[in-house]
Structure 1
């Protein structure tokens, strides 16, 4: 008998045939308990289904949509799903999380995961429900935005279907293309390019079954309690101003990356701040599916319309590129959504290119810091993969720097090929370690070590053993939240997270899961990611930061500086390896590999 909250099987779909074929892959209960769902289970599936050293854009490379035991329950923020693949941007494992009704409908097709392999003969959509799978040609969707494709799919197939689609950038293989649904995005690492390489414009799912929980009464009681706590002070910032509230706070403590990480403060930050925009342009507040927090803040755009804005897209398309006009930043964010590209990688790659232009390494004199029109023009070139500059920037900053040469890799803002988020490593040194060692690359959601830096409990300008412990702790907590799946904005609600997460899982699954078991689960998931990357060629040399971040002092104002030396980062990485039980090349020991159930 399958545990509550699970179906016990994944659907593996091959879209190469004229009519897609689907087969069931049984998911043994020990595997489900070891990896939970979401990112954890998706990592296990990639180990099993992705051929070693496969080209991420090859037909045989799998793309995995994964649900979780909590999806479909009344627990707040649980309507989330994960998408995983080998990244065309990094060549390593990538995962992205998103919230929408797609998660609930996808699970209620009767599967804990849907795996897509092969390549369709023509641009098509894949439909999955409780009755099976089918492939429908859809050449009329070519070149559409994800939102337009979703609307067209609803018109053609009916409103009972939920859609995850790619924009034109995904069709054209931009290495940081996204997968979108309900206006939200599985954004990082080029998952949209992987789906586009399969000639699939959209995946549609329709609910048609039920998934029972072990103790419905206890689950309902837990849901009521969690919902009540979600209205408390731990989530107030997200309700009142959203993540954009971080902009002025980070600027004040010199950790707002500006002009391709040459500075950590932006004099014109107030023009882009949530406080200013909320007063002048605030339109509405919205929530993800099954969420009681309501962090989404929507602002009016010049000339009509509105745009959802978050800290990361404002940072990447604003200060990082030196752009201060909110209309330009809003327009750039909207353009990224229309094209279907990740805002962080787009902004980071364009900021790198702007510096290359300054240095005379790229011949595009129009592409300068602070020019909003140039930013929009660059985005259009990327989305169309225009020969020349567009084709170059569509590769991402690391691969583009390898083409340009002349030491431009030293200031390409990436780790393992993934562009850095809006956190300056030199002034947040727990986060510096988290960014360097994360399996996904430069990521703030799988390693939220900035929390420790900003807590005041340690010296954020001088990394050491306490910073290593903080990075490991936040990475472990993220691994469980991303696999159960729960929104990270709930993290402050839990005073004893592993205990409380176990208490949520017990009535759903019927397992006697404990806090210590979940701690072991977290470690297993982190190690399984590293083991996948090692299989794909990653080594200790990849656990690093761009040379610009090392030994180059960062001006903090009032004559103060922050420096992250290469020796200090190396010592923290070595401490991380020791804390994780890794060998000197950053790989799990044989005894740990056996525990991975791979």
Structure 2
């Protein structure tokens, strides 16, 4: 009997040539319970359907859209889907989440996941509903933004379809292109390039069925309680100012990466702060589908129009590139949305290039820190993959540094090829460990260890054993939330997270799940990610930070310096391996492989 909230099957679609064919992969209940859905189930599917060492942009490389048992329930923030593939930026496992009605419609096609393989003969869209799958040529969508492609697809096929699409950067296979729906983005790792390599401009899904939960009355009561708690103090920051509220706070404690991580404070931060922008430009607040928090803040743009702004896109296109004019940062963020570019990787790669210009390693004298027009020009070049600079930067900072040479890899702001988010590792040393060991690369959403640093739970300037526990704890919580799936902005609402999540899961599925089982599930998902990366060639040498972070002290406002040496980081990494039950090389032990159910 299929558990509540699941269909017990994934749809495997091949879009080769001018047709789409499909088959059903039955999902054993053991696998569903072991991986939950979302990122967890997506990781298991990649193990099963990705050929070892496959080129991420090859036709046979799978791209999985994965749902969970909670999708479609009234539980707040549960309308999310995961996209999982081998990253063209890192060559390792990548996953990204987005919130929208696409999640509900995709699941109600009658599947827990859609796995896409092959390459269409011409630019097309893939449609999936209760009648099966079909491939439709869509040359008229070429070159459009994801938003415009979504609008045209709705006009052509009808309003009942929900669309996830790519922009021009995805079509051109820029290695950090995004997949978008309704203004939300599955952003990191280049998933848009994977879809573009399949010659698919968009995936359209339409609801065709319903799915039952095990305890309808219990789910409704839990949803009512969770909605009430979601309006409490734990989410007040997100409702009132959004994630951009972090900007001034991080600037004050010397952890706002500036000018390609050469500093951690930015004189122009007040001009970009949520507090000032809210007063001068705030025009609206919005919510994701099925969300009661409403963290999305919309600001007016110079010359008309509006733009959604978050901390990460402001950090990456502002302080990291030395740009302080909010109009320039707004325009750059809008340009990334139009082209379909991950703002963090775009900003990090451009900041690296700006430093290369300063050092005389790249002959593009116009590309200077602090120049908003230059930032926009660089984004245009990347989106078009213009010969020269655009083609170079479309590869991401690690690959670009490999071409430029002259030691430029030492200041490329990346881990495993993924550009760093807006957290300075030298002054947040729990986060330093989390960034170094995470399977996806430099990532704040799969390892939010900065919480321990900023809360005062640990000494953020001296990493040690306590920091290892903090990094593992946040990584485990993320693994469960990304697989169930629930928004991380709810994390502060739960007083006893694993126990409360187990209760929600039990109400939906009917499984007698408890906190201990969910903790084991979290560890399994983390191990499964590492096992996939091992298979693809990752080693312990990848669990590190850029040389700049380990060789150059960070000057603080107080006059002190924050230092993180290679030896200090390695000691934490070694302790992490022990605590995770990995071998001394950070590998999943053979004795743990049966628990991953990779042969199920």
Shorter-chain TM band: over 0.9
Alignment deviations for residues 163-187 of structure 1 (CA, whole Å, 9 cap, x no partner): 0000000000100000000011000
- Residue 448 (structure 2) pairs with residue 455 (structure 1): no
Q: d(CA) in 2 for partners of 1:345 and 1:216?
A: 42
8 Å CA contact 2:11–2:111 kept in 1: the answer is yes
- Residue 219 (structure 2) pairs with residue 208 (structure 1): no
Alignment deviations for residues 284-342 of structure 1 (CA, whole Å, 9 cap, x no partner): 00000000000000000000000000000000000000000000000000000000000
Alignment deviations for residues 249-284 of structure 1 (CA, whole Å, 9 cap, x no partner): 000000000000000000110000000000000000
Q: d(CA) in 2 for partners of 1:371 and 1:143?
A: 27
Q: Which residue of the partner structure matches residue 411 of structure 2?
A: 411
Q: Secondary structure at the match of 2:82?
A: strand
Q: Which residue of the partner structure matches residue 167 of structure 1?
A: 167
Q: d(CA) in 1 for partners of 2:558 and 2:41?
A: 49
Q: Which residue of the partner structure matches residue 198 of structure 1?
A: 198
Q: d(CA) in 2 for partners of 1:292 and 1:367?
A: 42
Q: Map 1:477-556 to 2 at 5 A.
A: 477-556=477-556
Instruction: Tell me how many residue pairs correspond in the alignment.
Output: 598
Q: Secondary structure at the match of 2:251?
A: helix
- Residue 258 (structure 2) pairs with residue 250 (structure 1): no
Q: Secondary structure at the match of 1:550?
A: helix
Q: d(CA) in 1 for partners of 2:462 and 2:594?
A: 37
- Residue 276 (structure 2) pairs with residue 276 (structure 1): yes
Q: Which residue of the partner structure matches residue 53 of structure 1?
A: 53
Q: Which residue of the partner structure matches residue 558 of structure 1?
A: 558
Q: d(CA) in 2 for partners of 1:370 and 1:458?
A: 35
Q: d(CA) in 2 for partners of 1:34 and 1:4?
A: 15
Q: d(CA) in 2 for partners of 1:559 and 1:454?
A: 20
Alignment deviations for residues 471-506 of structure 1 (CA, whole Å, 9 cap, x no partner): 000000000000000000000001100000001001
Q: Which residue of the partner structure matches residue 359 of structure 1?
A: 359
Q: Which residue of the partner structure matches residue 229 of structure 1?
A: 229
Shift of residue 458, structure 1, vs aligned partner? 1.2
Q: Secondary structure at the match of 2:406?
A: coil
8 Å CA contact 2:18–2:122 kept in 1: the answer is no
Shift of residue 596, structure 1, vs aligned partner? 0.4
Q: Map 1:71-86 to 2 at 5 A.
A: 71-86=71-86
Q: d(CA) in 2 for partners of 1:361 and 1:18?
A: 45
Q: Secondary structure at the match of 1:22?
A: strand
- Residue 179 (structure 2) pairs with residue 179 (structure 1): yes
Q: Which residue of the partner structure matches residue 18 of structure 1?
A: 18
Q: d(CA) in 2 for partners of 1:62 and 1:404?
A: 31
8 Å CA contact 2:429–2:453 kept in 1: the answer is yes
Q: Which runs of at least 4 in structure 1 moved beyond 4 Å after TM superposition?
A: none
Q: d(CA) in 2 for partners of 1:163 and 1:466?
A: 44
Q: Which runs of no fewer than 5 residues in structure 1 stay unpaired?
A: none
Shift of residue 66, structure 1, vs aligned partner? 0.1
- Residue 322 (structure 2) pairs with residue 322 (structure 1): yes
Shift of residue 18, structure 1, vs aligned partner? 2.1
8 Å CA contact 2:77–2:487 kept in 1: the answer is yes
Q: d(CA) in 1 for partners of 2:563 and 2:130?
A: 56
Q: d(CA) in 1 for partners of 2:557 and 2:492?
A: 31
Q: Which residue of the partner structure matches residue 262 of structure 2?
A: 262
Q: Secondary structure at the match of 2:13?
A: strand
Q: d(CA) in 1 for partners of 2:367 and 2:526?
A: 40
Q: Secondary structure at the match of 2:334?
A: helix
Q: Which residue of the partner structure matches residue 298 of structure 1?
A: 298
Q: Map 1:370-409 to 2 at 5 A.
A: 370-409=370-409
Q: Secondary structure at the match of 1:557?
A: coil
Shift of residue 551, structure 1, vs aligned partner? 2.9
Compute the TM-score of the two structures, normalised by the length of structure 2.
0.99
